[in-house]
């Protein structure tokens, strides 16, 4: 599935543009701590479909791991054995 298709599935509307990002692929990850929840703001398909922005908070049933790469760049990695993104949002 392409990034455009994934965007449209999650948000329930067409993507207006797609852009390629260039980012560093880490050789190692540095453990920072455990993520117990994540919050984000967006307008998504199951958020009412009215185009308004809403805050979403997903508390993890089991903690995920928060890491940075070995360079300390402005990129965080959240990983966990049960993390997945569905139409409902981030699930664990």
pLDDT attached to residue 30 = 93
CB 36 within 8 Å of CB 78: no
Give the SS3 label for residue 91: strand
Q: How confident is the model at residue 10 (pLDDT cuts 50, 70, 90)?
A: confident
Residue 13 phi/psi, 5° resolution?
A: -155, 160
Query: What gap in Å lies between CA 33 and CA 82, rounded to an integer?
Result: 17
pTM over 0.75: no
Decide which of 40 and 90 is more confident.
Answer: 40
Q: Are 45 and 12 in contact (CB under 8 A)?
A: yes
Q: Which of 50-54, 58-62, 85-89 has the highest mean pLDDT?
A: 58-62
Contacts (Cβ under 8 Å, ≥6 apart) of 16: none
- In the predicted structure, residue 74 carries a pLDDT above the cut 90: no
Residue 56's pLDDT band, with cuts at 50, 70 and 90, is confident
Share of the chain above pLDDT 90, in %: 11
52 pLDDT higher than 80: no
Alpha helices in 1-92 (DSSP H): 3-11
Here the tokens at position 89 are: 């949002």
């Amino acid at each position: 599935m392409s990034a455009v298709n994934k965007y449209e599935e999650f948000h329930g509307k067409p993507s207006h543009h797609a852009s390629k990002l260039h980012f560093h692929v880490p050789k190692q990850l540095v453990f920072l701590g455990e993520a117990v929840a994540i919050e984000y703001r967006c307008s998504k398909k199951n958020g009412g479909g009215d185009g308004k922005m809403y805050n979403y908070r997903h508390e993890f049933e089991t903690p995920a791991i928060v890491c940075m790469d070995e360079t300390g760049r402005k990129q965080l990695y959240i990983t966990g054995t049960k993390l997945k993104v569905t139409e409902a949002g981030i699930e664990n």
